[in-house]
Amino acid sequence: MNRPNGPDVPVLLDGVRTPFGRYLKGLRTLSSRQLGAHAVTALLDRLPQMAHCDGVILAQVVQGGLGQNPARQAAVDGGVSMSVPALTLNNVCLGGMTAMADATRRIRLGEGRSYLVGGMDSMSQAPHAGLLRNGASMASVGLVDTLSKDGLWCSLDDESMGVLSDRVNHDLGIDRDVQDEIALHSHQRARAARDSGVFGDEIVPITVDGAEVMHDEGIRDETSLESLARLRTVFDRAGTITAGNASQMTDGASVGAIVGHSVAEEWGVEPLALVRGYAEVAGPDASLHLKPAAAIEEVLHRADLSVADLSLIEVNEAFAGVVEASRRQLSVPLDVVNVNGGAIALGHPLGGTGFRLVLTAAHELRRRGGRYAVASMCGGGGQGSAVLIENVNAH
């Protein structure tokens, strides 16, 4: 592709995702590579020009044993030209947003004009691993669960992120009732979005063993406060986190096109949104709760905007306590946060979530006619990220 003479404005042109499948359920037989390739193929059906984009940047967290550069594998399988380079990112849960940020920087620097971004993960197919390099001798050999080790375990504090988050819930005074209320909202809103066809703009069905999977499998229509209250805590008997108020383990992929605005004009395609900024934060500790809010505050500061300028906010529901802590820090009502549900209902396929959050926010921003929205999330090791988008039709 021809390179621009100067900086271009990066835009989110379009995007798609697979349905998100519950752990060991409908999508369990598909690898991360297959999930990613399916989403890439669907995107190219909409935007065939992206087969010859300037680069592919895809996130994946659980990569063990999957072969060299999974992003390249999914891209080529999905129909992207062999002449297009690909990069696999592992920034834990933040990876899909980081892929977007990388693409926007390249566009602003004039290094390229069009990038395929997003991420994928099959948590159902995360392998078990063992180190035999030095020989097992006469000792027994144990296996490591890479899903836990590489995806769900804080390597800095050497403990489950659930245990860590249970402790922070207590420290911040976020009780069980508040978390269950957020979980209920997640399922109710996701169900309403599914039933009204809201997710039809982003989900591309996938056929597995002759059966078509059309919707996210984690949405529980029968969820109530009573059913949530009956669940046992999972990390600490005296804690507040349950399987009902935490994100679901999930299989899925989401991908999209980040291009320069001039490219969108050349192709005659109206962008979903302008990408106005990205921020990434870390520390001062490995906790998760306040990182999305900190990232949102940073990206708004850089754009000279305030929380009041936002029509919508997406905060990844890694745990309900993260949403509540972020909402409190930003002083916003739950009414504008995760209006179509979140990972508690939809699921959280690690590398596949970051771009999904931005895509969902972009579609909803357009439907509502608002001007600005932000998508944010926390990441293992005590990090956070946020992407600020603007409706191209807002004034």
Whole-angstrom Cα distance, residue 79 to residue 319? 36
Say if CB 105 and CB 243 are below 8 A apart: no
93 is catalytic: yes
Supply φ then ψ for residue 347, to 5 degrees: 105, 165
CA dihedral 355, 286, 65, 253 (to 10 degrees): -10
State the pairing for strand pair 372-379/55-59.
unpaired
Residue 148 gets which letter from DSSP? I
Catalytic residue among 93, 154, 185, 289: 93
Rounded to 10 deg, the angle between the 70-78 and 32-46 helix axes is: 40
Picking from 23, 32, 82, the residue whose alpha carbon sits closest to that of residue 60 is: 32
Q: Spell out a b/e string for 171-193, using b for 16 or more CB atoms within 10 Å of the CB, else e.
A: ebebebebbbbbbbbbbbbbbeb
Owner of token pair 């999905």: 78
**Terminal Cα distance for the chain, rounded:** 32
Catalytic residue among 38, 215, 289, 378: 378
What type of residue sits at position 313?
I
The C-alpha angle 348, 217, 291, rounded to 5 degrees, equals: 20
Catalytic residue among 38, 187, 261, 348: 348
Whole-angstrom Cα distance, residue 88 to residue 99? 9
Q: Spell out a b/e string for 139-156, using b for 16 or more CB atoms within 10 Å of the CB, else e.
A: eeeeeeebbeebbbbbee
Torsional class of 134: left (φ above 0), alpha (ψ -120 to 50), beta (otherwise)? alpha
**Half-sphere exposure of residue 254: CA atoms within 13 angstroms, side-chain side:** 30
154 is catalytic: no
378 is catalytic: yes
Q: How many beta carbons lie within 10 A of that of residue 235, not counting itself?
A: 19
Active site residues: 93, 348, 378
